[in-house]
Amino acid sequence: MLGARINIENLQASYGSVQVLHGINLDIAAGEFVALLGSSGCGKTTLLRSVSGLFMPSGGKIFLDGTDITTRPPEKRNMAMVFQSYALWPHMTVRQNIGYGLKLRGKSAKDVNQKVDELAAMLGLTEFVDRKTPQLSGGQRQRVALGRALAIDPPVLLLDEPLSNLDARIRLSMRHEIRMLQQRLGITAIHVTHDREEAMVMADRIVILDKGHVAQVGAPEEVYERPANSFVAAFMGAENQFRTRGGANGEAVTLQSDAEECRLPKSKELGDGGVHWNASGNADVSIRFRSEEATLVPQNEQTDGFYRINGTIRQASYPGGVRRYAVQTGEDMLIVDELKTFSEGDQVSICLKPNAIHVFEEE
Amino acid sequence: MTFGNANEMKLRNTHIVTTWVSNFVRYGILALLAFAIFGPIANMLLWAVAEVWYYPHKLPLEYGFSFWERVFREEGNATESLMTSVAIAVLTVIVSLIVAIPAGYSLARGRLPWRYLLLLIFLLPQAFPAVAVHMNIARIFYGFGLTGTIPGVVLVHALQGLVFAVWIATAAFSAVDPELEIAARSMGASKMRAFVDVTLPLALPGVLASAIFVFLISLDEFTGTFFVGAPDVVTVPMLLFTSSMEGNYQIASISSLILLVPSILFMFIIERFLKADVLSKVGA
């Protein structure tokens, strides 16, 4: 069973007078794993439910392998959905839950049982098939929900935050299990999540949604290293932000740093180690960087090839592995993770390698 | 252990005394409650087996079952009216469920505008004096030729049963997570199929409870039956009324006892089927 291709054109959706999707365009290839990533209220679940047919969009079109399915009822779309709440039927056994879709499709009891046994074995549920679902643990329920969805050999699997109710440990292993299953079966998957790392490790491509707009679509490395705008950069962990003056011409970037100007290489493609420049001309710009991609040195120590800003350590904490410092630079408070030990009040420089720097238009 | 033994004893004694007092109060309250509930029933039981009992005697002068024989005799009408009562109750349940299941489901899913207004409309007949309502119903039913017929009585009973049936069914359907139904739809079930396979079985305990409730209301109903059914349709409460009017407390008590049987059965069934989460949503 191969996956199906999905094309979403200018999709709009609203709850009453509140518009939650403002013209979404998205093309998903057959067999691709796409993560819809965004904070709560960004419209990612609405987008998924529109694809599944459980929510009627107010405009735009959805195509499945080229056929317009925008108004087709959910039961005729052949997409299986896995819910955050698992939505298992408590009055049925695991076997009945998993076999339900097949029963609906008129399969004989023998075929249903065979398929259920197969899936139960694959998901490690064999010993639980005759239990009612309320007797299962969270991880087991999640597997049943997955088994129920996979039983009908769906060309498209829709995952609505399926891992967010699980324990952290089980969540990590389920990510890989789901990804491996999807790759093995070759089905198309759309996964809704607010967990960046989950989206990064599971998906072929990530769609970042911001207030009902697509903020960026791209492979995990792309959205991580070349965030299209300040919002995406922040969502991808570059929470530190400060303003300065800067300009770019051809190969190089000039950024104002405390007293002097700093010339750094400009990035042209992924992984060339240059500054990610995403502003227009010479002007006030906004710089974003990740706490773990910066280092701290005492102000009097010399460095080479770094962009430096001076500051004072206001707070030191230990989250484990590294030390975390809150550094005051001018009016900004920046967070830096560093192995070396400093104390509160120390005068330090935050050092950024060119590829740690993301420059955006001043907001 | 050796030190403080006296203290410990003293503590234990006070503890025993306070426990004793609190137990006394607790059992006292229980006894009062039991008297309030079982006192009238005891009186009824006594009347049911009394052959001769008159003022100023505190207890019957003679006991026996001759009135039971009279009640269950062919001419006593008890068996026949019990049959009529049960038949009417069963039909009332069917009529009520036919309305209450779709109504309760729609109200629970909140797809109907003015849902509270609708729930209030079902309550409306209860807000007016039953006699006035039933008299007018009888007048209207007369026009349709429904007076003195079983369908007429069933409709009158259903009118009263529906309040409870719709409210309880609404609560039962509200207790079912809509996502469970959505999951069935996404697996390929039509709306109807999802309802039959998922929502209805999960709401069934509540729906059953409402059915039993309606059954009991119908068994017990008097004024509606009196205005619409009399004299052709004779249910047990009608029989009870007639015998009470004649001053025959024995027959009245025996009829009441017959009516008590389904009520007690109801208690057991409701206790087994009705989940707390359903009850808590009644009227929500």
In CATH, what number is assigned to the domain containing residue A119?
3.40.50.300
Which of A90, A91, A104 shows the shortest C-beta gap to B187? A104
The reply to whether A291 falls in a domain is: yes
Name the nearest CA neighbour of B157 among B102, B208, B93: B93
Q: Are B163 and B127 in contact (CB under 8 A)?
A: no
The reply to whether A231 falls in a domain is: no
Contact at CB, A100 and B190, closer than 8 angstroms: no
Beta bridge partners of B75: none
Q: What is the pLDDT of residues B100-133, one digit of tens each?
A: 999 889 888 876 667 777 777 777 777 778 788 8
- Domain end point (choices A225, A253, A268): A225
- pLDDT beyond 70 at B177: yes
- pLDDT beyond 60 at A223: yes
A224 — pLDDT class (breaks 50, 70, 90): very high
- Could you tell me which residue, B153 or B125, shows the higher pLDDT? B153
* pLDDT score of B112: 64
Which of B186, B188, B198 shows the shortest C-beta gap to A89? B198
Q: Are A95 and A88 in contact (CB under 8 A)?
A: no
- pLDDT beyond 90 at A96: yes
Q: What is the pLDDT of residues A159-168, one digit of tens each?
A: 998 888 878 8
* pLDDT score of A204: 95
* pLDDT score of A110: 92
- Could you tell me which residue, B57 or A87, shows the higher pLDDT? A87
B4 — pLDDT class (breaks 50, 70, 90): low
- pLDDT beyond 90 at A312: yes
Distance, in Å, from the CA atom of A171 to the CA atom of A160, rounded to the nearest integer, reads: 14
The reply to whether A170 falls in a domain is: yes
Do both A110 and A146 map to the same domain?
A: yes
* pLDDT score of B284: 44
User: Which residues touch B28 (CB under 8 Å, ≥6 apart)?
Assistant: none
Average pLDDT over residues A258-273: 83
Do both A197 and A254 map to the same domain?
A: no
The per-residue pLDDT of chain B, averaged, comes to 81
Please give the tally of structural domains in chain A.
2
User: What are A217's two structure tokens?
Assistant: 């679509």
* Structural domains of chain B, with CATH: 5-64 (no CATH), 76-279 (1.10.3720.10)
Q: Show which of residues 173-212 on chain B sit within 8 Å of chain A, judged by CB atoms.
A: 177, 179-180, 182-190, 193, 197-198, 201-202
- The amino acid present at B175, given as its one-letter code, is A
How many residues are listed for chain A in this entry? 363
Do both A179 and A270 map to the same domain?
A: no
The reply to whether A232 falls in a domain is: no
Angle between helix axes A109-123 and A138-151 (nearest 10 degrees) is 140
User: What are A56's two structure tokens?
Assistant: 């009627």
Distance, in Å, from the CA atom of B55 to the CA atom of A238, rounded to the nearest integer, reads: 95
The per-residue pLDDT of chain A, averaged, comes to 90
How many residues are listed for chain B in this entry? 284
Closest Cα in chain A, distance from residue B180 (Å):
5
**A22 burial type by CB count under 10 A (0-12 exposed, 13-18 middle, 19+ buried):** middle
Run of H or E residues at A155: none
The reply to whether A100 falls in a domain is: yes
Do both A54 and A203 map to the same domain?
A: yes
- Domain end point (choices A199, A225, A251): A225
Do both A129 and A195 map to the same domain?
A: yes
Distance, in Å, from the CA atom of B5 to the CA atom of B228, rounded to the nearest integer, reads: 78
Neighbours of B221 (CB within 10 A): 26
CA A165 to chain centre: 17
In CATH, what number is assigned to the domain containing residue A280?
2.40.50.100
Chain B interface, best mutation among A51, A81, A115, A144, by max B CB count within 10 A:
A81
Q: Are A132 and A88 in contact (CB under 8 A)?
A: no
Question: Which residue in B has a C-alpha nearest to residue A74's C-alpha?
Answer: B186
Q: What is the pLDDT of residues B193-216, one digit of tens each?
A: 999 999 999 998 888 888 888 888
- Could you tell me which residue, A140 or B209, shows the higher pLDDT? A140
SS3 assignment, position B113: coil
A193 — pLDDT class (breaks 50, 70, 90): very high
SS3 assignment, position B186: helix
Do both A142 and A34 map to the same domain?
A: yes
User: What are A50's two structure tokens?
Assistant: 């529109």
Min mean pLDDT across A170-179, A296-305, B155-164, B254-263 is at B254-263
- pLDDT beyond 80 at A242: yes
- The amino acid present at B45, given as its one-letter code, is L
Distance, in Å, from the CA atom of A302 to the CA atom of B253, rounded to the nearest integer, reads: 106
- pLDDT beyond 60 at A321: yes
Name the nearest CA neighbour of A327 among A359, A278, A289, A275: A289
Distance, in Å, from the CA atom of A53 to the CA atom of A84, rounded to the nearest integer, reads: 17
A113 — pLDDT class (breaks 50, 70, 90): very high
Do both A260 and A217 map to the same domain?
A: no
Chain A interface, best mutation among B177, B187, B193, B195, by max A CB count within 10 A:
B187
The reply to whether A25 falls in a domain is: yes
Do both A108 and A12 map to the same domain?
A: yes
Do both A182 and A298 map to the same domain?
A: no
- pLDDT beyond 70 at B273: no
- Domain end point (choices A161, A192, A225): A225
Query: Residue A348 belongs to what domain range?
Result: 238-354+356-360
* pLDDT score of A241: 92
Do both A137 and A280 map to the same domain?
A: no
- pLDDT beyond 70 at A91: yes
* pLDDT score of A98: 93
- pLDDT beyond 90 at B188: no
* pLDDT score of B280: 57
Question: Which residue in A has a C-alpha nearest to residue B191's C-alpha?
Answer: A75
Min mean pLDDT across A79-88, A259-268, B218-227, B243-252 is at B243-252
Q: Spell out a b/e string for B6-19, using b for 16 or more CB atoms within 10 Å of the CB, else e.
A: eeeeeeeeeeeeee
Q: Which residues of A touch B (CB under 8 A)?
A: 52-54, 73-76, 78-81, 83, 85, 87-91, 100-101, 104-105, 148-149, 152, 158
The reply to whether A141 falls in a domain is: yes
Min mean pLDDT across B14-28, B172-186, B254-268 is at B254-268
Contact at CB, A91 and B201, closer than 8 angstroms: yes
Do both A216 and A281 map to the same domain?
A: no
A85 CB neighbours in chain B (<8 A) are: 177, 179
Do both A66 and A115 map to the same domain?
A: yes
B283 — pLDDT class (breaks 50, 70, 90): very low
- pLDDT beyond 90 at A247: no
The reply to whether A230 falls in a domain is: no
Query: A–B: how many Cβ contacts below 8 A?
Result: 61
